[in-house]
Structure 1
Amino acid sequence: MGMSTAETLRALLDGPYPETRERVRWWLSRPGNEPADDLPLEEHRARVLEWVKELASEGDTAIGYPVEYGGKDSPGAGVTAFETLAMGDLSLLVKCGVQFGLFGGAILHLGTAKHHARYLHDVGSMALPGCYAMTETGHGSNVQALRTTATYDPETQEFVVHTPDDDARKDYIGNAARDGRMAVVFAQLITGGESRGVHALLVPIRTEEGEVCDGVRIEDCGAKLGLNGVDNGRIWFDHVRIPRENLLDKLAQVHADGTYVSPIENPTRRFFTMLGTLIQGRVSVGGASISASKVALTIAVRRALERRQFGEPGAEQEALLMDYRTHQRRLLLPLAKTYALSFTQNRLVRDVHDVFTDEGAPERQRRELETLAAGTKAIATWHATDTIQACREACGGAGYLRSSRFASLKADTDVFTTFEGDNTVLLQLTAKNLLTDYRDSFNDLNPIGMVQFVAGQALSVLTERTALRKVADTVLPGRDDDADLLAHKTQLDLFRWRHEHLLTAAARRLKGGIDNGKDPFAVLVDTQDHVLEVGRSWVDLVILESFAEAAKGNELLSKLCTLYALSVLEAERGYYQEHGRLSAARSKAVVKAVNTLCGELRPHVRELVDAFGVPETALGDARVVADEQERVPA
């Protein structure tokens, strides 16, 4: 027997590690593992901790670690397991992300063999619960300006970790309030009387008996908007002494006498090499957002195939919600974008696996991964927020009941837009990389550095690009061209033109501001909205490229890909008309084509969401399924 349409689509969606996805789906479907949406805070935390221990005991939490430390040496499978886990209780997801991704990931990527041997097995087995203490109350995204200090004392060969004031306390730290026993602390390293920039050190915060260590103060952040199964806390350090070997020293070492050495001489490059460890987290959070969108869409589509409202007067039955064009637009457009993001995510997972398993991966490959990871994380998490809200509204009052799961989906994913990198900052990073060709000497989130670089050596490159791109304008479909809007090539050409036009125009604006003697920071502020659109347009292009490639040879996917492409053109049609790329008639044709595609995809909508493979236990009230005839009327 051949595969059903949903099974065929699922095989494509599941990407390079289908067995990993199926194992997580199986675990989520087991009795007792359904989302805990309404437990009191402490009970929820306890339940989540037990789940994490269960996953750890079954060997499912250290997949990305080396085999010698209990892992499977497969970062790609690790990210896949994480994003699939997002179909269940999101507090469990975040607890796992903190413990195995951030805490363990920092030890793996910033530490050396002695740290790996001493800690990684215990991290993966949950024998050593830990935290990732980067963010401070006064500094979130601006990590370079963190104010916690780690001062080396050569007489005792110890680092003294200290919080100078409340603004420098570590804040929102997962695993800190209740369960963590050790923290990876990011602090300004001081040795030989000189500040060496932000480095990561291992600092015990609780004893094995759970008592808070001397010199450490911990406070519970309390109830949050969501994710209340995660024990977020604040940490202060009062001259806490730790051994010299607790410095995670892959990128820099401090000798016994206090001599500081690093294989990366440029301190800015060293800092951003360290932050490169965040790439995996950003890819994971983006993937988790896509999974949450799949849950919301499955619930809303099932509801739309059951619920009837109004219809033709005198008809025996009212019309299904799914038969209304407005409802189709409300659900099918985010459905198409969720598919598009899924294929982009699969590409990212492959790239993560290649880069993190190859010590000799070229620097350019790492930079490209950082750029795409930052941009996709921003777009995917914003998409989840928008999609979950649209799906909640599409379910009316039923969607407002806690049992529908929308309450927890909305609350728990909301923070995804600001953790693992604030989305606006990440899109700016994406755009900065595109604008500057990622020159190491200004590999810096600092806005002034970015503008100065664009005003200097990068502009010759950008000017050359501008000249080359003018050629592209002559072959793109314009006002008088009859190019087929339903063809992926036409769609890709339009997406590419928009991005390159935004990119070169932004470069001209930045250069013009500097040439006129304006303050660099003021120039960036003036053009920031434009710069962000550069990043957004590039991510849109990569997403469409990924979808078009995956859709080859599959008529249904190809149609869904066109719906995604045209929905973006529809949303941006003002820009295309302003710049002469679409006439008013062609712009109207885009709207009409979106409506037509919604009608053509309507009979396949159940198969399209079934392909997501969301476990029944994750669907709340939507577990009650209408019969086949009612779902897809003739």
Structure 2
Amino acid sequence: MDRPTTTTTTVVASQTYDGGESPALRRLRLLSLHLYQPSLTRAASSGRGEHGLIPCGSGGGRARRVEASGPELKAYMEGPHREVQMRVFDFFSSRPDLQTPVEISTADHRELCMRQLVALVREAGVRPFRYVLEDPSVYFAITEAAGGIDISLGIKLGVQYSLWGGSVMNLGTKKHKDKYFNAIDNLDYPGCFAMTELHHGSNVQGLQTTATFDPLTDEFVINTPNDGAIKWWIGNAAVHGKFATVFARLILPLQGNGGESADMGVHAFIVPIRDLKSHSVLPGIEIHDCGHKVGLNGVDNGALRFRSVRIPRDNLLNRFADVACDGKYTSSLPTVNKRFAATLGELVGGRVGLAYSSVGVLKIAVTIAVRYSLLRQQFGPPKQPEVSILDYQSQQHKLMPMLASTYAFHFATRYLVDKYSEMKKAHDDDVVSDVHSLSAGLKAYVTSYTAKSISTCREACGGHGYAAVNRFGILRNDHDIFQTFEGDNTVLLQQVAADLLKQYKEKFEGGTLAVTWNYLRDSMASYLSQPNPVTARWEGEDHLRNPTFQLDAFRYRTSRLLQSVATRLHKHSRTLGGFGAWNRCLNHLLTLAESHIESVILAKFIEAVQSCPDKKTREVLKLVCDLYALDRIWNDIGTYRNVDYVAPNKAKAIHKLAEYLSFQVRGVARELVDAFDLPDIVTRAPIGMPSEAYSQYTQYIGF
């Protein structure tokens, strides 16, 4: 029988997503596809690629080398707000006095970081604050650029405008915007975001700081009841902050049952902490320096204690709840939990920004490592020139899947920013729910991956990677906390898993699914049917590089994990209760959340490939996308083997093809990192320069 064209194969495969197809029909169709499956490439067939690997493409001949067109690739990767980023880069390039040296004390770094922020806003005229409200995508682009100059600068900017300023604008009402917007915008009111306490971080509902209303003076009294309630790790507090948004339990006297005080849950309050003119600490407030940290020492983290600090009633950020002068409490939301969820929901932008900025850090590290690996030569065949270390399969294995992941994260976080911008404009409940879980998942997944990858990049650059001037140590230390603040990654992944289980339950109760989880509509029926013994053995490259196969594999894994953990939770809850069952299944739940996020990332990468208008660029992106997908499948091949989704011969083919794709990506690695378009002031590492790296390196140490 004649083999069908690729177009025909794609059309048939796309029917997998027909929501009306029964599991039985789906299996019959997949069986019929076996008749059309391209012939399998065997070891004995003619012509292997270099390294003894099967070349991509049909037949056994040598694959055509994929070529990249640098300008087109760079143009497609370029964000819509590159102009404002270049304003940031050009400004700091013209100001050597504002560039962060490799060696700097904590005190000097803090003062430099504040000078950098003030100069960016007042001299360069880059005003991020209005974009927090009007166009978050511009704000995130500015934050990424600032972080490229110094991650401490990016974080300090985020504390001022996203956390302190964003809390006032998003949780307050018109009176707060009128009073505070301009002064926050121009840095006359530098501020803090005082949520985390010594004993409570992720569990915000467990905060102990109190704000008790005094109807006699029409004030709230802010108090730290014990040492465990001291506000801790508060950015901008140790040196520069003049105000703080303080999250505290609202206590209303005589409004509880029986006439006792009523705890209305956590609310947000504006609390002045230093005098606007003298900058001295205000009465009743105690501030201490959290000291030298592993990284981000340009940010002045401090600890705050409040001793009966009185603030006007108007300082309650009252978008979701208010207190009248007689102490009467009103809210548009009926319960403590709903008010709490609405309050935290307005702060989700911090997670979006961290996921987006983390990709920026990963781009820097990968660029330095790839450029050095292309430059550095080591060993080679006898009596022949040494070869680039990126020609070694081991180096390709370290860096090429990482480069592919960087591209995947680029498109996924761009999608997240677009969804967040949509959420801020439309206030659609489905979009809000989607962004909350997606931002939690991507923040956790991307920041964890980046943290591990920076160390891998350092190792890939050998001894030269250990030099501070080559940036890996600074990047690693400054980025490491991304895994903790704005939500600890383990806690955030649990939120994703909980939402998946909620969607799973609602599906079987006839509810609708949020946008990101649409694929679960089919997966519970079709993906969880017995794996097809025929397709489980397909190993042809056309099949393995088919995005339908790749997405099916990712989504099958997520669906299987979701079904199995739901069953386990139900079983254990009978004897252990809800909390005990959750804890017993916790590792399973974290794996489920990561699997789902990987599915979303791959789906967005495939969409980006298919949307690319330039043929040559599309081919390069398809190559990189295939490497991302097959590398992830291979990394979890045990899961697929355990349920017979992948037969042994197919697993071996996936491994070989992933290695060969790494070899092919190596051929366009220079163009791929150049497409990130990172100026020298961002990469800065002598070994990461596009040319004359050794020359700059030797000059740096005095030759």
TM-score by length of 1: 0.91
Match of 1:396 among 459, 462, 466: 462
Whole-angstrom CA distance in 2 between matches of 1:488 and 1:27 = 43
Whole-angstrom CA distance in 2 between matches of 1:7 and 1:357 = 34
Alpha-carbon shift at residue 481 of structure 1 (Å)? 4.4
Match of 2:438 among 331, 353, 372: 372
Q: Which residue of 2 aligns with 1:137?
A: 198
Residue 179 of structure 1 aligns to a residue whose secondary structure is coil
Q: Which residue of 1 aligns with 2:607?
A: 549
Q: Which residue of 2 aligns with 1:570?
A: 634
Q: Which residue of 2 aligns with 1:324?
A: 392
CA deviation string 1:447-474 (max 9, x = no partner): xxxxxxx7xx887569x97996232345
Whole-angstrom CA distance in 2 between matches of 1:260 and 1:12 = 53
Q: Does 1:254 align with 2:323?
A: yes
Q: Which residue of 1 aligns with 2:60?
A: none
Match of 1:536 among 588, 591, 594: 594
User: In the TM superposition, what are the counterparts of 1:116-155 in structure 2 within 5 Å?
Assistant: 116-155=177-216
Pair member with larger Rg = 2
Residues 227 and 411 in structure 1, CA contact (< 8 A), matched pair in contact too: yes
CA deviation string 1:173-223 (max 9, x = no partner): 000000000000000001132010000000010001110000000000110
Describe the shift of the 1:505–1:61 C-alpha distance in structure 2 as closer, same or farther (beyond 3 A). farther
Residue 600 of structure 2 aligns to a residue whose secondary structure is helix
Whole-angstrom CA distance in 2 between matches of 1:286 and 1:173 = 21
Residues 103 and 132 in structure 1, CA contact (< 8 A), matched pair in contact too: yes
Q: Which deviates more, 241-250 or 473-482?
A: 473-482
Residue 95 of structure 1 aligns to a residue whose secondary structure is helix
Alpha-carbon shift at residue 15 of structure 1 (Å)? 3.1
Q: Which residue of 2 aligns with 1:7?
A: 71
Describe the shift of the 1:152–1:271 C-alpha distance in structure 2 as closer, same or farther (beyond 3 A). same
Whole-angstrom CA distance in 1 between matches of 2:354 and 2:102 = 20
Whole-angstrom CA distance in 1 between matches of 2:138 and 2:187 = 19
User: In the TM superposition, what are the counterparts of 1:166-181 in structure 2 within 5 Å?
Assistant: 166-181=227-242
Whole-angstrom CA distance in 2 between matches of 1:492 and 1:46 = 49
Q: Which deviates more, 74-83 or 374-383?
A: 74-83
Aligned residue type for 1:206: R
Whole-angstrom CA distance in 1 between matches of 2:556 and 2:288 = 52
Q: Does 1:471 align with 2:532?
A: no
CA deviation string 1:158-177 (max 9, x = no partner): 00000011110000000000
Alpha-carbon shift at residue 36 of structure 1 (Å)? 3.4
Match of 1:226 among 260, 279, 295: 295
Residue 378 of structure 2 aligns to a residue whose secondary structure is coil
Residue 667 of structure 2 aligns to a residue whose secondary structure is helix
Whole-angstrom CA distance in 2 between matches of 1:611 and 1:15 = 11
Aligned residue type for 2:375: E
Match of 1:508 among 567, 589, 600: 567
Describe the shift of the 1:61–1:276 C-alpha distance in structure 2 as closer, same or farther (beyond 3 A). farther
Describe the shift of the 1:475–1:525 C-alpha distance in structure 2 as closer, same or farther (beyond 3 A). closer
Q: Which residue of 1 aligns with 2:155?
A: 94
Whole-angstrom CA distance in 1 between matches of 2:135 and 2:125 = 12
Q: Which residue of 2 aligns with 1:202?
A: 270
Aligned residue type for 1:19: E
Match of 2:450 among 384, 405, 415: 384
Q: Percent identity?
A: 38
CA deviation string 1:370-403 (max 9, x = no partner): 1100000001101111111111001111110111
Alpha-carbon shift at residue 613 of structure 1 (Å)? 1.4
Describe the shift of the 1:557–1:475 C-alpha distance in structure 2 as closer, same or farther (beyond 3 A). farther
Q: Which residue of 2 aligns with 1:446?
A: none
Match of 2:665 among 586, 589, 601: 601
Whole-angstrom CA distance in 1 between matches of 2:296 and 2:306 = 26
Whole-angstrom CA distance in 1 between matches of 2:88 and 2:648 = 49
Whole-angstrom CA distance in 2 between matches of 1:14 and 1:474 = 42
Describe the shift of the 1:526–1:428 C-alpha distance in structure 2 as closer, same or farther (beyond 3 A). same
Describe the shift of the 1:176–1:409 C-alpha distance in structure 2 as closer, same or farther (beyond 3 A). same
Alpha-carbon shift at residue 111 of structure 1 (Å)? 0.5
Q: Which deviates more, 481-490 or 527-536?
A: 481-490
Describe the shift of the 1:492–1:256 C-alpha distance in structure 2 as closer, same or farther (beyond 3 A). same
Whole-angstrom CA distance in 2 between matches of 1:152 and 1:320 = 69
Alpha-carbon shift at residue 323 of structure 1 (Å)? 0.5
Q: Which residue of 2 aligns with 1:631?
A: none
Whole-angstrom CA distance in 1 between matches of 2:230 and 2:175 = 29
Aligned residue type for 1:205: I
Whole-angstrom CA distance in 2 between matches of 1:381 and 1:132 = 22
CA deviation string 1:527-580 (max 9, x = no partner): 111111121111000100111111124000011000000110010100000011
Aligned residue type for 2:554: F
Whole-angstrom CA distance in 2 between matches of 1:7 and 1:500 = 40
Aligned residue type for 2:536: R
Whole-angstrom CA distance in 2 between matches of 1:500 and 1:490 = 15
Whole-angstrom CA distance in 1 between matches of 2:186 and 2:248 = 27
Whole-angstrom CA distance in 2 between matches of 1:257 and 1:14 = 56
Alpha-carbon shift at residue 10 of structure 1 (Å)? 2.7
Whole-angstrom CA distance in 2 between matches of 1:16 and 1:609 = 19
Alpha-carbon shift at residue 405 of structure 1 (Å)? 0.8
Q: Does 1:343 align with 2:401?
A: no
CA deviation string 1:242-296 (max 9, x = no partner): 0000000001000011111110112111101111122110010111111111101
Q: Which residue of 2 aligns with 1:40?
A: 105
Aligned residue type for 1:371: S
Match of 1:435 among 483, 488, 501: 501
Whole-angstrom CA distance in 2 between matches of 1:108 and 1:235 = 23
Q: Which residue of 1 aligns with 2:83?
A: 19
Residues 205 and 266 in structure 2, CA contact (< 8 A), matched pair in contact too: yes
Q: Which residue of 1 aligns with 2:114?
A: 49
Aligned residue type for 1:42: A
CA deviation string 1:323-355 (max 9, x = no partner): 101101111111100110010111011111111
Q: Which deviates more, 393-402 or 617-626?
A: 617-626
Q: Which residue of 1 aligns with 2:282?
A: 213
Describe the shift of the 1:14–1:385 C-alpha distance in structure 2 as closer, same or farther (beyond 3 A). same
Describe the shift of the 1:176–1:467 C-alpha distance in structure 2 as closer, same or farther (beyond 3 A). closer
Q: Which residue of 1 aligns with 2:26?
A: none
TM-score by length of 2: 0.82
CA deviation string 1:579-623 (max 9, x = no partner): 111111111111101111111111210110011111202222135
Aligned residue type for 2:609: A
Describe the shift of the 1:252–1:236 C-alpha distance in structure 2 as closer, same or farther (beyond 3 A). same
Q: Which residue of 2 aligns with 1:447?
A: none
Alpha-carbon shift at residue 84 of structure 1 (Å)? 3.0
RMSD in angstroms over aligned alpha carbons? 2.3
Whole-angstrom CA distance in 2 between matches of 1:4 and 1:436 = 44
Whole-angstrom CA distance in 1 between matches of 2:544 and 2:84 = 38
Aligned residue type for 2:590: L
Q: Which residue of 2 aligns with 1:274?
A: 343
Residues 466 and 504 in structure 1, CA contact (< 8 A), matched pair in contact too: no
Residue 357 of structure 1 aligns to a residue whose secondary structure is helix
Residues 476 and 494 in structure 1, CA contact (< 8 A), matched pair in contact too: no
Whole-angstrom CA distance in 1 between matches of 2:111 and 2:339 = 39
Whole-angstrom CA distance in 2 between matches of 1:392 and 1:8 = 30
Residue 317 of structure 2 aligns to a residue whose secondary structure is coil
CA deviation string 1:13-46 (max 9, x = no partner): 2334333333333334333244433211111111
Residues 29 and 616 in structure 1, CA contact (< 8 A), matched pair in contact too: no
Residues 189 and 243 in structure 2, CA contact (< 8 A), matched pair in contact too: yes
Aligned residue type for 1:398: H
Deviation beyond 6 Å, 4+ runs, structure 1: 464-468
Q: Does 1:235 align with 2:304?
A: yes
Residue 39 of structure 1 aligns to a residue whose secondary structure is coil
- Structure 2: unaligned runs, 5 residues or longer: 1-66, 254-260, 514-519, 613-617, 694-703
Q: Which deviates more, 598-607 or 230-239?
A: 598-607
Aligned residue type for 2:265: G
Alpha-carbon shift at residue 318 of structure 1 (Å)? 1.0
Residue 76 of structure 2 aligns to a residue whose secondary structure is helix
Whole-angstrom CA distance in 1 between matches of 2:126 and 2:248 = 28
Alpha-carbon shift at residue 154 of structure 1 (Å)? 0.5
